[in-house]
């Protein structure tokens, strides 16, 4: 499948999670596994990545190292990269490290670890799209009623033309380098919106409920119930 690398993003501060433990380190009640370990294991099971970069906060370096050791995941092809103050800075740091390791134009998958139920096939399928595209993202249709609230004036938003943008997202490394070299306004929430400014294309793979994001403390119930269901199947 060529040269593929993965950027797993877990440098966030988890402010919206409102818990003394960051959500990436929250352990489920069934297996006592930290949240970020689930997508990491899926990536390893996919067997399609030469190298995996865990992009972490400087303050969490020892925590992550200890967890990798605890779960016997301290493999040579897993690198810890200290992220920046923003998502863009974190991705730029990972691009710089990949370049230092002499990766030139490989395939890069970027994934938020808070979407912890990603499957190995999700990684494989999105990489396949890069055979014909420079960038691609998972997305899903909006099925809820949407209301716009502006100064207590409520207006229904038509959902037919809307998409929920998910991760994983995949890119040619050369495109990511071009993005961060030529685009000065980096007030972005993902890389796909930046890629669109250059490619003017927005390829989409439709993803399921399992790619939902753990954001708030209330989402922990869904997290634990999902793991409980997986254990029953296994």
Q: What is the CATH number of the domain that holds 222?
A: 3.90.550.10
- Higher-pLDDT residue of 199 and 17 is 199
Pairing of strands 4-10, 51-56: parallel
Q: Residue 228: is its pLDDT beyond 80? A: no
Residue 86 DSSP SS3: coil
- Higher-pLDDT residue of 24 and 188 is 24
- Tens of pLDDT, residues 137-182: 999 999 999 999 999 899 999 999 999 999 999 999 999 999 988 8
Q: Residue 233: is its pLDDT beyond 50? A: no
**Considering Cα of 36, then 224, then 190, then 169, what sign does the dihedral take?**
positive
Q: How many domains does the chain contain in total?
A: 1
Residue 123's pLDDT band, with cuts at 50, 70 and 90, is: very high
Measure the CA–CA gap between 137 and 78, rounded to whole angstroms. 23
Q: Domain containing 104: what range?
A: 4-233
- Tens of pLDDT, residues 21-57: 889 999 988 899 999 999 999 999 999 999 999 999 9
Helices (H), 71-162: 87-100, 120-129
H/E element holding 146?
A: strand 146-150
pTM of the model: 0.92
- For residue 92, give Cα distances in angstroms to 96, 162, 212: 6, 29, 25
Measure the CA–CA gap between 49 and 76, rounded to whole angstroms. 12
Pairing of strands 163-172, 135-141: antiparallel
The pLDDT, as a whole number, for residue 16 is: 62
């Amino acid at each position: 499948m060529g040269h593929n690398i993965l950027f797993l993003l877990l440098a966030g501060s988890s402010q919206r999670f409102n818990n003394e433990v960051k959500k990436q380190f929250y352990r489920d009640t069934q297996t006592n596994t930290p949240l970020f370990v689930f997508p990491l294991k899926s990536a390893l099971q996919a067997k399609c990545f030469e190298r995996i970069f865990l992009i972490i906060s400087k303050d969490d370096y020892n925590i992550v190292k200890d967890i990798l050791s605890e779960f016997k995941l301290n493999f040579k092809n897993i690198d810890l990269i200290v992220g920046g103050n923003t998502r863009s800075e974190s991705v730029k740091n990972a691009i710089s490290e990949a370049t230092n390791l002499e990766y030139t134009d490989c395939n890069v998958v970027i994934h938020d670890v808070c979407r912890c139920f990603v499957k190995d096939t999700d990684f494989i399928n999105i990489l396949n799209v890069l055979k014909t595209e420079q960038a691609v993202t998972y997305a899903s249709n909006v099925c809820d009623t949407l209301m716009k609230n502006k100064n207590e004036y409520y207006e229904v938003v038509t959902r037919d033309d809307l998409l929920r943008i998910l991760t994983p997202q995949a890119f040619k490394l050369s495109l990511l380098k071009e993005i961060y070299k030529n685009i000065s306004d980096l007030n972005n929430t993902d890389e796909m919106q930046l890629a669109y400014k250059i490619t003017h294309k927005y390829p989409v793979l439709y993803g399921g409920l399992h790619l939902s994001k753990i954001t708030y403390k209330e989402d922990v119930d869904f997290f634990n119930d999902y793991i409980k269901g997986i254990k029953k199947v296994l």
